[in-house]
Amino acid sequence: MKGKERADDYATRRERLATLTEPELEERFWALADRLTKPLVELARTHTTPAIERSVLLRMGFSSMEAKGIVDHCAGAGLMGKGAGHVVLRMARRWRMPLRDAGLRLGLGEGWDEAATEFAAAETVGEMIR
């Protein structure tokens, strides 16, 4: 099935760009690209999935089964939005232990109340600073 042909309006659309210099065209391109990608970047920043979080943990050196345990507990604690890898990092620092040891501890279900408190305290401090 063939649709209606579009009228060639290239010359008309080009008029407003014809007077721009190369640097101005480049600036316009990047401004439009930024406007187009900004909502996607925001969506990626504020939304995650268990698969994404497991992938992050795999890249941190955890096995698939270890990553699954950490992510499952992270979701149960309501901390998925913080990022499972971020939780592991923060708790490793808090507990003064290697990342792997902290992640394994979290994967066993230990320390999640403390992790929730840690992130809640950080948000409260952040609100006070603003």
**42: pLDDT strictly greater than 70:** yes
What is the pLDDT of the chain when averaged over all its residues? 88
pLDDT computed for residue 81 by the predictor: 87
**130: pLDDT strictly greater than 80:** no
Mean pLDDT value of segment 84-89? 96
Go through the domains of the chain in sequence order and give each one's CATH number. Answer: 10-46 (no CATH), 50-129 (1.10.8.1000)
> pLDDT higher for 7 or 100?
100
Mean pLDDT value of segment 94-116? 96
Q: What are phi and psi of 63, to 5 degrees?
A: -75, 170
Mean pLDDT value of segment 103-118? 95
pTM equals 0.64
DSSP structure string for 91-110: HHHHHTS-HHHHHHHHHTT-
